[in-house]
Each structure stands twice: as C-alpha cells, then as structure tokens.
C-alpha cells in the first residue's frame, strides 16, 4: 500500500497544498510508477488518500495522457511524431522502431518489456527524432542509437528486477520536510 510504504513522503506532499485535493496528480504519478499502471485498485488507493471519489481519479486518468489505465510494458517508448519532429523523420523512425520491436504502435512485446506509442510534442523538437521512456528523454536518435537503447534497457531489466521511476518521483515529494 502506498499509504504505508511512503507515509512520510505522502504526509509532506499533502502538507504543501492549502487543499489536499491538489496532491492528486502527484499521487497518481506515484501510484503509476509503483504499480506500472493505474489499476482500479491503485486509483482507489489514491482516492482514499486524497479524500475524493474514486470516479474522480478515474476521470483524471482518462483525461491526462501520461496515465495508463491498462497494463503496459516495463518500458514505455513514446515517440513524438508531431509536426516539428515529423519534418525531421519521426514517422519513419516510428516505422523503424515498430519493425525492430516487431510490434505495432500501441503494442507490447511478448516478454512484457516494451510498449511502443506515439505522442504529441514533448518539447524536444530541435533534437528529433526523440522519444520519452518512463519520463526520461532520449534525443537525436537514429536506428543505431535506438538499437543501443533497446539493448541497454534489456540489460537493465535483466540485472535489476525493480522497475519504474518511483525513486525520482518520491524524490520530488520528499524534497521538502
């Protein structure tokens, strides 16, 4: 349970805001990085902590594109193929990534490691093609850099059973005591 595991951090987070409901997105980020996606249970947990209706958290999950309501791969590769990147080869890059991983866009590899998605502008247009993977940017990519990234992530997954970006997220929450 988030409440028990991150009690101090969650208390510090809630104390930041004049109204605790404001902490909801932060807690959803935390829940998603802890569980890999926002299951109904995870959303109910968040709702309980914040003190809102679970349906409210559900509607937020549908509204914001960074939240996944279905299980996804351990690494979610989100390639920007919005206009500025597409002018510099992003659509071709997506096709290449899809071929290399042997999955369509929105698909997940059989080993559960990678999900491929396309997204709108990420603010890295001057370094296209680029992608975001678990809230980290990889920029100025090409086919060989993409292969190297995939290899690196596979190796990381093999070496380290602990997934996710929870360390970073909890880092933000914990900054202020």
Partner 1 sequence: MAHVLLRHRDIEDLHKLDVYRRNGGYDGLKKALGMTRAEVIDVVKASNLRGRGGAGFPTGLKWSFIPKNAPETYVLINTDESETGTFKDRELIERNPHQVIEGALIAAYAVNSRLVFNYIRGEYMDAAWAFEEALRECREAGIVGRGIMGSDVDIEFYTHFGAGAYICGEETALIESLAGNLGQPWSKPPFPAVEGLYRKPTVVNNTETLANVPGILVNGPDWFKSTGTEDSPGNKIVCISGHVTTPGNYEVPLGTTYRELLAMAGGMKDGKAFKAILPSGGSGPIITEDALDAACSYDGLTPFRSVMGSASVIVMDETTDMVWAALKMIHFFRHESCGKCTPCREGTFWMEKVLHRIYDGHGTEADIKLLESVANNMTGKCLCALGEFATSPVLSSIRHFLPEYKAKVSTAAQQAARESVPVAMVGR
Residues that bind partner 1 (CB under 8 A): 16, 18-19, 21-26, 28-29, 50, 52, 59-60, 63-67, 82-84, 86-88, 119-128, 132, 135-137, 165, 168-169, 171-172, 175-176
Q: Which residues touch 71 (CB under 8 Å, ≥6 apart)?
A: 36, 37
Q: Exposure of 47 by Cβ count < 10 A (0-12 exposed, 13-18 middle, 19+ buried)?
A: buried
> Shortest Cβ distance from residue 88 to ligand FES (Å)?
9
> Shortest Cβ distance from residue 59 to partner 1 (Å)?
6
Degrees, nearest 5: CA angle 24-26-43: 55
Q: Which of residues 41 and 92 has its CB atom nearest to ligand FES in the complex? A: 92
Kindly list the distances between the CA atom of residue 36 and the CA atoms of 24, 85, 101, 115, in Å, as whole numbers in the listed order: 17, 28, 20, 12
Q: Which of residues 69 and 139 has its CB atom nearest to ligand FES in the complex? A: 139
Question: For residues 148-157, b (16+ Cβ closer than 10 Å) or e, as one string?
Answer: ebbeebeeeb
> Shortest Cβ distance from residue 101 to partner 1 (Å)?
21
Name the site residues for ligand FES (rule: CB under 6 A).
80, 82-85, 121-125, 128, 130
Q: Which of residues 111 and 152 has its CB atom nearest to partner 1 in the complex? A: 152
């Amino acid at each position: 349970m988030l409440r028990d595991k991150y009690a101090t951090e969650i208390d510090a987070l809630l104390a930041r805001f004049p109204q605790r409901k404001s902490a909801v997105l932060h807690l959803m980020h935390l829940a998603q990085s802890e569980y890999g996606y926002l299951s109904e249970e995870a959303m109910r947990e968040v709702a309980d902590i914040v003190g809102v209706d679970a349906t409210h958290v559900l509607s937020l999950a549908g509204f914001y594109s960074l939240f996944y309501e279905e299980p996804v791969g351990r690494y979610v590769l989100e390639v920007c193929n919005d206009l500025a990147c597409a002018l510099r080869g992003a659509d071709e890059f997506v096709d290449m990534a899809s071929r290399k991983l042997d999955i369509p866009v929105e698909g997940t590899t059989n080993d559960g490691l990678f999900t491929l998605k396309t997204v709108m502008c990420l603010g890295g247009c001057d370094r296209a093609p680029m992608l975001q993977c678990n809230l980290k940017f990889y920029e100025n990519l090409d086919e060989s850099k993409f292969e190297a990234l995939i290899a690196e992530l596979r190796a990381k997954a093999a070496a380290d059973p602990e997934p996710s970006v929870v360390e970073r997220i909890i880092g933000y929450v914990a900054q202020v005591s």
